[in-house]
Structure formats: structure tokens, C-alpha cells
Chain A
Amino acid sequence: MFKPGKKIEFKSAKEIPLTPTSLGDMTHNYTGSWRNLRPEIDYDRCIDCMICWKFCPEPAIYIENDRPKIDYYFCKGCGICVEECPVKCIAFEEEGK
């Protein structure tokens, strides 16, 4: 899982750079909150081909112990992994259910 980066805070206009320059990375911007549908991997059927990892545009799929894992802090629920999985082992679940 990604570790949140350092969030740069400014208390006043006197502290900020001249122009928006290197204001910090986006790892504290949890895009997972945008998600309506949550992809879930059925590991009993998963063949560890890593195609989902390759296709995830965020990227919100990482590899842990040779298996793909979804990072729900950042997964926006686009469904590309659901579509591309060759054994159809990733299913969408509605959030909040």
C-alpha cells in the first residue's frame, strides 16, 4: 500500500513559493472516496497473471507476496481491472452495501 506523502501546509501567503511549484505530491489526496463501485478480487480463482496490475491507470493495484492487491485509498472504481481480468475473478460490489 502507498504511504501518504508529506502534506505541505502554509499558514500565510508570505510562506508560499512565487508560483505553484512543488506544493507536494498527491499521495495525501485519497481518490478512493470518489468510488461508487468497489472491485474485489476472488483470490481462490485469481491466477496471479498481474494483468490487472498492468492495466490499473491510477495505479492502485500493487503486488504483495506475489499476488495483486487493490489499494482502496486510491482506487477510483473505474472498472478496467474488472473488464481486463482474463478469468473474470474481479467483481464490482456497490459501496455502502
Chain B
Amino acid sequence: MKKVLMGNHAISYGATLSRVQVIAAYPITPQTQVVELLSEIVANGELEAEFIKVESEHSAMAACIGASAAGARAFTATSSQGLLLMHEVLHWASRARLPIVMANINRAISPGWTIWTDQNDSLSQRDTGWIQIYAADNQEVLDSIIIGYKVAEKVSLPLMVVLDAFVLSHTYEPVDIPDQDKVDKFLPPYNPKIKLDPEDPHAFGGLTAPNIYMEFQYNHQLAMMEAKKVINEAGKEYGEITGRYYQNLSPYKVDDAEYILITSGTVAKTTNIVVDKLRESGVKIGNLRIRTFRPFPSEEIYEILKDKKKIFVIDRNLSFGNTGIFFQEVKASLYNTDIKVPIFGFVTGLGGRDVTPELIEEIVNYGMKKEKPEEEVIWMGVKK
């Protein structure tokens, strides 16, 4: 069934179709409608779930941890300052190997007080041990929640679906809502090997001495690396049911390209338009959208970039004192390979400033003109 949905409601439908059993959330702009609709769905009896109202995002994630440890499929959604408040328990969720799925709506960080999009909130959670998927349209948002549970439960790791504030969260697009029985077939009920159970009592997360702590981290890393494969497999399986295939990377006209733009989130969709326009004038350019940020799909990125001339990374984020974060990650993943082409790092669109086709064209023109980047951070559209 097709519906015209805002990104936030696409999340709610994704969670409903995934038959989540516990929802714990605290409202924050621009996430509010996600849980508003979910609370209605639960109140109407359309979804058999516990809806827990909590006093903070820290508590929301803590409630999800408890629920997931007890064997329930748990869901939450947040944004920006709310996600930052969750930080401590995000680590707990992943190290406890709990397959919680959450949606984070990318909103810039204050001060100055802001509600508009950029990626610094979710990218600040890079090392929490969560899988991170960056969506580019509302259909992908809905689908990524459902696929998210499949992946999370397979590798026993929590997963974050990330989308741009307002550009997706409050923008209406036609979205296909898959039939419940198809989703049920794809995503059977969660059945953990071990859970909190009075009939089979266990102590969870107890004192872990130096002689064993490191092995848990080693296994966590193995699970993350396994997730690269599992995300592609689950995305393929989902495609066979719905006709919509999702992989770690979403390349656009990259095969014969000499120049590659690397993007994420909705900026990628605008970039595709620019790629089409530039190709009309004979520029061999392509766009590589990175969907999966953690685990970072280095090998797949290498395969696409190995015969290119120049690479332009667009970051809607910044690690103060270094560079854009996707730029860092791409450079680091290629350092020990034979790719020795110039990689340019552009920072733009912070705090929700529009990343327009004109601006992306300017980025390409800048990169084509220069032999190599002259600055580590190339600011685009900033009034210096």
C-alpha cells in the first residue's frame, strides 16, 4: 500500500511492521512525531507493545536495554542533545550485545540553539559500538528499520537508522508500506539465545576482569565486521520480497567515472542530480553514497575508487581540530592500498544550511581545477 508519509511517520510504520514489543522514548524536535504516532498505534491496539514514557533519553535507552535483555524487541527514537544524553547507555547496549534499533534524526548540536540538520550528533557516537545506517529518502527510512532488526538480531548488535532533520523527518514523500505478512516472513519474532529469565537465572554484565574483558571486545569487533556481510545479505533478501535492494554502499554512475563524489544522507540525492547535469556536459563523474558508516565498508569503497582520478568527499559534519568525518574515514581506509589519488574534503551544510545543486557543482569545479587539495578542510558556502 502506498501512502504519502513524512520521514518521522515512515519510522513509526517501520517499527510497527517490525512488531516491536517495547517502545521507550522521550520527545525532542525533530523526532516528536515518530513516537506520537507510535503511541497512537499502541493505544488503538494496532500494535501489541508496551509504550514506556520516561523522564529522559538516558532512561529511554536504559528501558530499551532492560527490555531487550529480557528478550523483547525494543525501539526508541531521538535526536541531537537527546542522543548525546544517551551516550553512556549507548555503550552499554552494544557491549551487552543487545539488538535494539533506534532512529536518530540528525540535528545539529547547540549552542547556538538549533533544530536543523547536520551529522555531528550521530557521528559523535561513532565509537559506541553501534551499527549506523544513513538513509537518503523516506522509503529507505521505513525499510531500514525493518532490515535493521534483521541485521541487529543476526549479529547481536544495536543499530541506528539515521536521517536528516526536516529534509526527511518533516518532508512528505510517497512511501510503499509492505504487507505485514511479507514483513513477518522476512523478520520472524526475536528469540535470543540467552535472556533475563527467572526460570533460568543469570547475572548479566558483572565484573569482567582483565583476563577476559579483551576477548569480549574482540568478539564485538568480529560481529561488527560480520555485519558488513549481513547488511548486504539482508538488504538483498529484502529486495527479493519488495523490489527494493539496500547495500552498504549506494553507488550512482560510478562504473565509468573518473571523478567520484562521496556523500551520505539526503545530500546524496541532490548530488545525483548534479551528476546527471555534469554528465550531459561530458564530465565523467559519479556519486558514491555511503549508507553504512559503522561498520565502515572499506573493502567495497576500495573496489569502487581503485581506478578513479580524484575523489571529492562532502561532509555535513566536522571534527573540530581535524577535518570532516567521512573524509577522515575514507582517507584512513585507503591509506594502506595502492590508491594514491588526491582526496578533497569539503565541509558544508552545517546547522541545516541548504546543500544546493549549485553548491555541489561549485565543489566539483573546485576539485577539478586544483591538482591536489590545498587545505585539509575546504569550507564551502561559509562567509569567511
Contacts and interface: CB of A to CB of B under 8 A. Distances in A.
A65 interface: no
Interface residues of B, number: 19
Interface in A1-46: 10, 12-13, 16-23, 26
Contacts of A22: 202-203, 206
A20 B207 CA distance: 8
A5 to B, nearest CB: 13
Interface string A32-76: 000000000000000000000000000000000000000000000
B97 interface: yes
A21 B95 contact: no
Interface string B74-118: 000000000000000000000111000000000000000000000
A18 B97 contact: yes
Nearest to B202: A22
Contacts of A21: 194, 202-206
B215 A13 contact: yes
A25 B203 CA distance: 10
- Which label, helix, strand, loop or mixed, suits the secondary structure of the B interface? loop
B202 A10 contact: no
Interface residues of A, number: 12
B264 interface: no
A41 B216 CA distance: 44
B139 interface: no
B335 interface: no
B97 A26 contact: no
A17 B222 CA distance: 14
A85 to B, nearest CB: 31
Contacts of A20: 204-206, 208, 212, 216
B67 to A, nearest CB: 15
26 contacts: A10-B212, A12-B215, A13-B216, A13-B222, A16-B216, A17-B194, A18-B194, A19-B95, A19-B96, A19-B97, A19-B205, A19-B216, A20-B205, A20-B206, A20-B208, A20-B216, A21-B203, A21-B204, A21-B205, A21-B206, A22-B202, A22-B203, A22-B206, A23-B203, A23-B206, A23-B207
Interface of B: 95-97, 156, 193-194, 202-208, 212, 215-216, 218-219, 222
Q: Which 8 A-B pairs have the closest CB atoms?
A: A13-B215, A22-B202, A20-B208, A19-B97, A18-B97, A13-B218, A19-B96, A21-B202
